[in-house]
Structure 1
């Protein structure tokens, strides 16, 4: 399952390592967050979302999981 975090990262042409570096976290945090296997701390979620140009609410659910990507609803 793709997440909004993963899709946005790919659209931006960034690697997990680049997002991690810009957010100040280990690349495994980005990887596990994208796979919904880690609920990152609120501050980390905020930094990842900021790097990707997303609001935290767009990227993550209330319980801290990366939101599932639902695809293009127009096509």
Structure 2
């Protein structure tokens, strides 16, 4: 069973994600990947959520075994 939520904040000036994503704790990291690159590791967290924000471009992510299409604003 998938245990994630995908949302898109679009062009909003500010987005409050705590309620939208039902956050209890969070892991946030900022990365810049060139076209065609990938993150070379799989990991999980037992106590915190992990948030990915897509600022530009598009791609796919594998989350809880699901392939999820992602694009700017997600």
TM-score after normalising by structure 2 = 0.25
Which of 1 and 2 has greater Rg? 2
What is the TM-score when the length of structure 1 is the normalising length?
0.25
Higher strand share: 2
Higher helix share: 1
